[in-house]
Amino acid sequence: MTGRLPCDYHLHTRLCGHAVGDVEEYLVAAERAGLEEIGFSDHLYQYFLPPPERDPGLSMAEDKLPWYVQKILNLSGYGSPVRVKLGIEADFVPGHEEVLAGALSGYPFDYVIGSVHYIDGWGFDNPKQIGRYAGRSIDGLYAQYFGLVQEAASTGLFDIMAHPDLVKKFGYSPDCDLTELYDQTARVFVQAGVCVEVNTAGLRVPAGEIYPAPKFLKICYDYNLPVTLGSDAHSPGQVGAGINEALKLIKSVGYTTITIFEGRRMKTVKI
Ligand code: ZN
Ligand code: FE
Ligand code: FE
Ligand code: ZN
């Protein structure tokens, strides 16, 4: 990797059951990758399901949240040149907003990333549930997905909207033109005051491109939406992965700054 990288705000740890590595290993990897700042955003427990129905392979256990928070806060005592922020990735499932608000309260998060991983209970980005794409209208799916992303942003519970076109993950493409959906979504983001995540995990899946798509990102730029960067690393080796490509992409649509967070407040950083 060449040069300094401003930030990687989307890091998981083995706590979520499908990633490897402890926070200390991610910090070492970040230093090696030349990152100035990192933020952990492990998967919040499945607050929208009763405890016995929660999948330990998808997110941390509820009783691990205080431990997770403490582990990350402790990292600032390690004397690393990399600044460390405390984030969390929380699923959006309509109808459970109050439970989520309660789950997030009482912790000093620097930012909360909001993710749509479920459409009517279907984990559409889960390889184990890929069979459910069969026979579905992809146009309809896109409309439903972006509707949920807009609803999530409007709750006011999230600072950053994760991988904003995750629905493209497995490469199922709609026939319809997406301009109107992108535009509508960007307008809702403006209203909600959220930041858009430029997430490089898209490079490592069949979609083969960063989330959001260049066309969507350009619209976000035209609406003056702030952006942040994340690799969605699920192993220390992925820390900073694709961040150079993400920087190239955001600059190509016009961005000259990115956004970092402190205590859920945005700060602008020149790139
Ligand atoms: Zn994950
Ligand atoms: Fe996610
Ligand atoms: Fe993630
Ligand atoms: Zn994610």
Q: How far is the CA of 234 from the centre of ligand 4 (A)?
A: 9
Ligand nearest to the CA of 18: 1
Ligand 3 centre to CA of 91 (Å) is: 10
Confidence of residue 1 (pLDDT cuts 50, 70, 90): very low
Residue 4 confidence (pLDDT) = 86
In angstroms, the CA 61 to CA 15 distance is 8
pLDDT one-digit tens code per residue, 16-67: 999 999 999 999 999 999 999 999 999 999 999 999 999 999 999 999 999 9
CA 240 to centroid of ligand 4, rounded, Å: 14
List Cα–Cα distances, 214 to 45, 52, 91, 150, 246, in angstroms: 32, 41, 24, 19, 10
DSSP string, the chain: --S-B--EEEE--GGGSS----HHHHHHHHHHHTBSEEEE-PBPP-TTS-GGG--TTTS--GGGHHHHHHHHHHHGGG--SSEEEEEEEEE--TT-HHHHHHHHTTS--SEEEEE---BTTB-TT-GGGGGGGTT--HHHHHHHHHHHHHHHHHTS--SEE-STTGGGTT----SS--HHHHHHHHHHHHHHTPEEEEEGGGGGSTT-SPBSPHHHHHHHHHTT--EEEE--BSSGGGTTTTHHHHHHHHHHHT--EEEEEETTEEEEEE-
pLDDT of residue 71: 98
User: Which residues are 248's β-sheet partners?
Assistant: none
Measured in Å, residue 113 CA sits from the centre of ligand 1 at 12
Say how far residue 171 (Cα) sits from the centre of its chain: 19
Enumerate residues with CB within 5 Å of ligand 4 (an ion). 232
CA of 26 to the centre of ligand 3 (A): 14
Q: How buried is 267 (Cβ within 10 angstroms: 0-12 exposed, 13-18 middle, 19+ buried)?
A: exposed
Q: What is the pLDDT of residues 216-232, one digit of tens each?
A: 999 999 999 999 999 99
CA of 93 to the centre of ligand 4 (A): 15
